[in-house]
Amino acid sequence: MIHLIQKYLLSSLSVVLLLISFPQLSEAQDSGTFITSNNTEAEIVPRYPKNDAEYHITTQENSVTLLLTNSAIYLQFTDDYLEKIAEEIRGKNESDDSDHLGAVLRSAISSGVQTLLDRAITVPLNEIEEIYYENGRLVIINRDGEDMFKEAEVDDVLIMEDFSRRDARRFVAESEKRMI
C-alpha cells in the first residue's frame, strides 16, 4: 500500500503543483482569490462546465482544458485526466486488495485528491493585456507584461506548448473578440 501511495505522489506531483503553486501566485487572499506578485488577480474556483464556455481547447495530451467566457479564461484538468488520476490511486485490480485497510486508504486518498484537483484557475479578461500564438506556444500576457502560464506543466509537459497550432490560433482570435 505504501508503494502505491509513493508511486501516485511521485507521478502526480507536477499536477498538484500546478494548482497549489500557480507560477506567479505569491499571496493568498480570502475565499480562494490570489494576488500575483504583479497585482494580476487569479482565482481558484470550482470547475467551469465546458459546455457553458464560449470556446474551449484541450491539450494534445488531453490533460488540461482552457476555457473562454465573455469575461474570463479558465484553466482546468480534463475529466479524462481526473479519471486517470483516480484510476492510478485505485490501482488496476481493486479486487486484489488483501486487506480492508488498503481499500479504505485507497478510497480516502482518491476522494481527497479528487476534491483538491477538481478546481479551475480563472483570470478575468480585463487582467490580460495580450494573447498570441508564437513559436509553437500559446502566450497570455498580463497587464504588467508577464507571461502568466509560461512554466505551468502537467506530467513534465508545458501546457501552453501542448495545444495544437490550429486550436491555439482560434483561441487567440476568440479571446481578442472579447478583450475589446
Summarised one tens digit per residue, pLDDT across range 100-121 is 666 655 555 555 556 667 899 9
Tell whether 160 is covered by a domain. Answer: no
Tell whether 155 is covered by a domain. Answer: no
Tell whether 95 is covered by a domain. Answer: yes
Q: What is the mean pLDDT of the chain?
A: 77
CA distance 20 to 121: 10
Q: Which of 13-27, 98-112, 143-157 has the lowest mean pLDDT?
A: 13-27
Cell of 134: 508564437
Tell whether 150 is covered by a domain. Answer: no
Model confidence at 16, pLDDT cuts 50, 70, 90, reads: very low
Cβ neighbours of residue 42 closer than 8 Å, sequence gap 6 or more: 22, 24, 25, 33, 34, 36, 121, 122, 123, 127, 148
Is the backbone of residue 136 left (phi > 0), alpha (psi -120 to 50) or beta? left
Tell whether 78 is covered by a domain. Answer: yes
Q: Which of 14-23, 68-77, 132-141, 164-173 has the lowest mean pLDDT?
A: 14-23
Tell whether 32 is covered by a domain. Answer: yes
> Which neighbouring-strand residues pair with 43?
33, 122
Tell whether 56 is covered by a domain. Answer: yes
Please state the domain count of the chain. Answer: 1
Q: What is the pLDDT of residue 99?
A: 64
Q: Which helix (H) or strand (E) holds 127?
A: none
Q: How far is CA 164 from CA 42, 60, 136, 175, in A?
A: 25, 7, 8, 16
Tell whether 162 is covered by a domain. Answer: no
Q: What is the pLDDT of residue 125?
A: 95
Q: What is the pLDDT of residue 83?
A: 85
Write out the residue range of the structural domain in which residue 113 sits. 2-126
Q: Residue range 39-58: average pLDDT? A: 89
pTM of the entire predicted model: 0.73
Cβ neighbours of residue 170 closer than 8 Å, sequence gap 6 or more: 55, 57
